[in-house]
Structure 1
């Protein structure tokens, strides 16, 4: 019998304000179906599709070097 690790279905990241003693601002959850945002202390998540997120990033974002 062979065993393997199952990949997580999402990745969660805590966003902090480094200028304010690492105060938590909110959380971002990355899923194959979209990007979710939960503000600090929030019990709800707000979802944006990957298509909408990509359009927003290209329209409003600054081009970065890798």
Structure 2
């Protein structure tokens, strides 16, 4: 699994960081998503898929 995000469209809701905190974080200054691990281990895949699904701006792409 490979994660990509469109930070230009991120609304800073933080749902991804709540669902998968080992993989996603937010910038302090504006809340925009930060990918901590663009290729997370298999045990994180379910949480990453959920994070992509709950993202209100739909900026997380999984490959």
Pairwise same-fold verdict (TM > 0.5): no
* Structure of higher RCO (CA pairs closer than 8 Å, 6+ residues apart): 2
Which structure: larger Rg? 1
Question: TM-score, normalised to structure 1's length?
Answer: 0.26
Relative to total residues, which structure has the larger strand share, 1 or 2?
Answer: 1
Relative to total residues, which structure has the larger helix share, 1 or 2?
Answer: 2
Question: TM-score, normalised to structure 2's length?
Answer: 0.27
